[in-house]
Structure 1
Amino acid sequence: MNKGQQGGDEFQVAPSAAKVRVFLVDDHPVVRQGIAMLIDQEIDMCVCGEADNADDALAMINQLKPDLAIVDLSLKDSSGLELIRDLQIRDPRVVVLVLSMHDEAFYAERVMRAGARGYMTKDEGTEKVIEGIRLLLDGQVYVSDRVAAKMIGKLIGGRASNWTKVGCLTERELEVFELIGSGLGTREIAGKLHVSVKTIESHREHIKEKLGLATATELLKNAVQWMQFERKC
């Protein structure tokens, strides 16, 4: 057992195996480096691995068995939201904290439904990351102050953002909506999602109904605007 001295009192140094193991998933190396430095300063935490895409993250998490994963929503050639869903199926033991620049008013609720236990934006203070990790590991849920305020405002009937209606779409409808906004036609979307053209046409009609759109032109215009909005986040 490793031991040390501090002020004349003997204390035991916890072995590294006893530390909380955190895995980082972000497609920006500088962001991963900054978070890793922050976490490694904590005496009871360590970063056990990193990845910039969902496939590598799943493989490494399966191998390294972290206690918690910090996940961005925009990853290299993949989706953080899909990664969260896959983790819930493959290893629900891993606690997920989302750290992203995406619109928290829209995505916080969505990632929670996917299985994440916390959501914070990258412009939150760095000390909030450690606070969020500790709350999640204590069995609690973490959202930023702004997310909490907007959720409460939504519950009491406050005015929501311009894109609140998009939050009413199902996961598949949102996927179709974003593919429309990316310039894909109905047949291309059907091929990409491995479903029939008729199924995509049905999704398009449901999306128009939920968003209050009358024509295919309005649907395309709104989908393109949504994708432009997302790229700014």
Structure 2
Amino acid sequence: MSDPDYTPPESLVNPVPPVVVLLFVAVIGIEGVFSLGKAGLVGGPAAIGWRLGALQDYGFFPAFLDYMAQSRSAPLEVLMRFVSYPFVHGSFQQAVIAGVMMLALGKFVGEAMRPIPLLILFVLSSAMGALIFGLVAPAQEPLYGAFPPTYGFIGAYSYMLWIYLRGVGERQIAAFRLIGLLMAIQLLFGLFFDTGTTWVAELAAFVTGFGLAPLLLPGGLARLRHKLQRR
């Protein structure tokens, strides 16, 4: 049974799925509070430390994996960090760039994926990105920002484009141009700046999004069930 053909979206204009809008508003809203606090417009002198406090309280650190392994426990406040880190950013610029990318890619994927599966994609891409990051990054290197789940959206979109290209008889490798370009930019920046290992989380989220897309797109579970029954 062949997969349905998904025609790649051509415009960034509305409608944007409500779940993506809510995620974008959350990212920009939180950043807005931090920026206003830094400017001294809200919160008084203590507001200057809001961003750092949020990074410490909601960011993800690889050391938490060691803690869970040694204590053989999974406290809720630790598990929360697997999905809370995308809403905290290190700067206004990072939040805006990540938010806009998430809005655009979420709009693309949301044209073919229903709201609940789209939210599942966001959550699982975030969590898997944090997990793989935690396995390879230094114990105290923080993970924060919406780029990993955005790369999850890129993975799902790449799958949709991959299916479309197969349907029209074109080279499917073209579906990976976007992720290839982004990884090349990461590599280029890494030659001149200390970019850390956040790219590991982003790449893991991309693979997660690509792998989940066949299941989360309409009819995905039915296709999987049909394939399993044929074996």
**Shorter-chain TM-score tier:** under 0.3
In terms of fraction of residues, the more strand-rich structure is 1
Higher relative contact order (CA 8 A, sep 6+): 2
Q: Kindly indicate which of the two structures has a greater share of residues assigned to helix.
A: 2
Larger Rg: 1
